[in-house]
Amino acid sequence: MAPTGQGGAMDFAMDESETLEKTPDGPEGTGPAEKPRSLWSDAWHDLRRNPVFIISGLIILFLIFISLWPSAIASGSPLDCDLSKAQQGSQPGHPFGFNGQGCDVYTRVVYGARTSVSVGILATLGVALLGSALGGFAGFFGRGWDAALSRVADIFFGIPVVLGGLVLLSVVTSSTIWPVIGFMVLLGWPQISRIARGSVITAKQNDYVQAARALGASSSRMLLRHIAPNAVAPVIVVATIALGTYIALEATLSYLGVGLKPPTVSWGIDISSASPYVRNAPHMLLWPAGALAITVLAFIMLGDAVRDALDPKLR
């Protein structure tokens, strides 16, 4: 997915490969000799004591909880509106006030989480599966497949995301979340496929993989046992950060009127319909905007923390 005003997750994932508190050049061998741990248990060890990870993880768990059981914290229905209360501010039982149609803003914000989280997770899953499958395939078989796939990926990279979304989704009439997810997978896979391809090519050159090949391991066995585990970590890192950007992208498209459509409850739609009244009733815009910002922030911070923990270059 091409970097746009929304920021490509790719750049974000790559922008910091620094060593934070490396021991200075002078005294080598100062590190205590600890027994080596696997990449994953090492990462988990680091993550457990990282406050950024804990905070963002808790926010995300909460978001997933209210996505599954929104009625646990919001009693009404998001579609239960009373025009006579339109644009009214906060009042007992309705802490966030009412929107332009007189719907309860609090209930809509809670139900909006379900939409955002499902779009984010499903789009990320789709992108990760399609991207790693295609990228892994290209990297493993190389040559013609690789060249062809790289060119196709270039074409999709050549289309700015919001632009592509406007063109492609403007003709869709379905009010489900599937067209938006499909669009994200369609434009998002090259980002993951490049990473998967790179990891597979690196892994293929490892001595132990060459040895397995010399011993006559079959292609599928090599892919699954030796190569795939190497590609998983970078894909997970980029996918986590991308999840946040997909949520932002859904809201942006919905704001532009081409993403989700009512009666689906979406923060982007609510922000869009609130924006003309921002002068008189800013609360209608601020609550869903705040929820959106916190959600995206949580996923990006989580991805950031996971990247720091998983990137062996940082040690």
From the list 239, 271, 302, 310, which residue makes contact with another protein (rule: CB under 8 A)? Answer: 271
Taking CB under 8 A as the criterion, which residues in 25-54 touch another protein? 25-33
Among 55, 129, 130, 162, binds another protein (CB under 8 A): 162
SS3 of residue 82 by DSSP: coil
- H or E element, residue 115: helix 105-141
Residue 43's CB is within 10 A of a number of other CB atoms, namely 20
Specify whether the CB–CB gap between 266 and 251 falls below 8 A.
Answer: yes
Nearer Cβ to another protein, position 204 or 308? 308
Q: Under rule CB under 8 A, which residues in 170-209 are in contact with another protein?
A: 170-172
Q: Is there binding between residue 240 and another protein (CB under 8 A)?
A: no
Query: CA 300 to CA 304: how far, in whole Å?
Result: 6
Name the minimum Å distance from CB 86 to another protein. Answer: 19
- Per-residue binding letters, 113-152, with another protein (x by CB under 8 A): --------------------------------------xx
Tell which one of 22, 35, 49, 313 touches another protein (CB under 8 A).
22
Which residues are within 8 A (CB) of 132 and not within 5 positions of it... i.e. 6 or more apart? 192, 193, 196, 231, 235
Stretch that binds another protein, among 75-83, 120-128, 208-216, 254-262 (CB under 8 A): 254-262
Sign of the Cα pseudo-torsion (157, 160, 295, 55, in order): positive
Q: Helix (H) and strand (E) counts for the chain? A: 12, 0
When asked if residue 223 is in the footprint of another protein (CB under 8 A), the reply is no
Q: Please name the residues in contact with 210: beta carbons below 8 A apart, sequence gap of 6 or more.
A: none
Amino acid at 120: G
Q: Interface residues with another protein (CB under 8 A)?
A: 2-8, 11-12, 15-19, 21-33, 151-152, 154-156, 158-164, 166-168, 170-172, 244, 248-249, 251-252, 255-256, 258, 271, 275, 278-279, 282, 285, 289, 292-293, 296-297, 300-301, 304
